[in-house]
Amino acid sequence: MKKPAVILSVLVFTSCGVLGFYDDGGLLNRGKRNEYGQYLPKKPKYKLKDKENNIIPQNLDTTNIYRRYVNLENLDDYIHFLKFYPTGRLLSISIPAKDDFGFENCLKEWHLNPQNSYVQKGYYYSKDGEKAKMEAFYENYTENIFTLMQPLLLGEYHQDEFFLNSSGDTLTINGENYIKENIPQEWKKYSIGW
């Protein structure tokens, strides 16, 4: 009688990784980690990537960054940045608000490297040069039927609309404001081949 229970337990625990209950790109998991630790879709199906007739908003700054603070529940505060490129590409960066010594953290040149594990690569599109949409692929954890196991990681595409004020120094997404900040010219060296 104990053999079937043991076999069932082994099957359940070993199939969890295969199905995607763990962060390894299982069968049910729509994403996987690349060599840099970034979570990307297994079969990319971005709707905004290289979409025709993309009219880049005239007041969108594609040389500097936009910044906002995010307070994540039960976690430390993070500083969130968006970097737009003139090719319709977008980089989303989140860094801890405090450094390892408890001092206020600030953006550094190496944070803008698109190969860092904590960045999200995405796309943006505007059909009229005023309202625009942005799209990225995010980790999405959902509850699973096995209460003793961790949640199922599926991954999902997410789109948000953003609006710019007339001067282009404030970008608004879902009621949250991002304020433009200038970055040094030498920080603009990374390639955007995604």
Can you give the pLDDT at residue 70? 63
pLDDT the model gives residue 5: 52
Residue-range definition of the domain harbouring residue 158: 2-187
CB 132 within 8 A of CB 162: yes
Q: What integer is the mean pLDDT of 33-53?
A: 91
CB 115 within 8 A of CB 40: no
Is 113 within the bounds of a domain?
A: yes
> Does residue 60 form part of some domain?
yes
pLDDT over threshold 60, residue 14 = no
175 part of a folded domain: yes
Task: Assess if residue 29 is contained within a domain.
Answer: yes
Structure confidence at residue 109 as a pLDDT band (50, 70, 90): very high
pLDDT at 170: 94
Question: For residue 192, is it within any domain?
Answer: no
In a domain, 61, yes or no: yes
Please check whether residue 144 lies inside any domain of the structure: yes
CA torsion sign for 97, 101, 106, 108 is negative
Whether the Cβ atoms of residue 116 and residue 79 lie closer than 8 Å to each other: no
Q: What is the number of structural domains in the chain?
A: 1
pTM of the model: 0.78
Nearest by Cα to 124 from 90, 81, 94: 90
